[in-house]
């Protein structure tokens, strides 16, 4: 078995998404290798996506970020606050998977979560049960499996228990 390549010298940064990111976000959203892991596991129309993006960008309880590495777009991260719990969702572009960008993006997301939602008590992630790479990534950051929901597993990290992994 070949080792997974990891790019150790490239820093991943998160920048807030804007309406100008609509086309790239829609392209990423409708990539079959990504949407098979989403709750709605089929492509969405440009109109549906535009309405969703506008709602996300206007909602103070949500934050959407574009992950970049050396000025290249490598994925997206979203934070959704509901009371004292924040759910993190993320997707790394297919050609950038396996290089450690997911780990660095998650580390940045946890930092952003603490900054943006300082009263949060827990961070959750709902991951497709067959997405072994994402499950392993979140576990490596201290998330623990708490419940199965259909084809998804919910993982939770209590605030204050996040290891410095990124």
Beta-carbon-side half-sphere exposure of residue 103 (alpha carbons within 13 Å): 18
Instruction: Give the domains, in start order, of the chain with CATH numbers.
Output: 12-158 (3.40.630.30)
Q: Which pTM value belongs to this model?
A: 0.86
pLDDT (tens, 9 = 90+) of the chain, 166 residues, equals: 333 445 556 789 999 999 999 999 998 888 776 655 565 667 789 999 999 999 999 999 999 999 999 889 999 999 999 999 999 999 999 888 888 999 999 999 999 999 999 999 999 999 999 899 999 999 999 999 999 988 899 999 998 544 445 4
């Amino acid at each position: 078995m070949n080792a997974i390549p990891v790019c150790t010298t490239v820093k991943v940064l998160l920048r807030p998404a804007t309406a100008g990111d609509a086309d790239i976000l829609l392209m990423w959203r409708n990539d079959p290798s990504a949407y098979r892991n989403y709750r709605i596991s089929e492509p969405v129309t440009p109109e549906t996506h535009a309405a969703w993006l506008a709602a996300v960008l206007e909602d103070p309880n949500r934050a959407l970020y574009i992950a970049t590495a050396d000025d290249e777009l490598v994925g997206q991260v979203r934070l959704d606050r509901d009371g004292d719990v924040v759910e993190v969702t993320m997707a790394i572009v297919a050609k950038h998977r396996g290089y450690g960008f997911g780990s660095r993006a998650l580390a940045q997301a946890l930092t952003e979560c603490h900054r943006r939602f300082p009263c949060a008590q827990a961070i959750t992630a709902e991951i497709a049960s067959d997405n072994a790479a994402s499950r392993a990534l979140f576990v490596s950051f201290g998330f623990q499996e708490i419940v199965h929901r259909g084809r998804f597993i919910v993982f939770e990290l209590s605030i204050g228990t996040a290891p410095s992994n990124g």
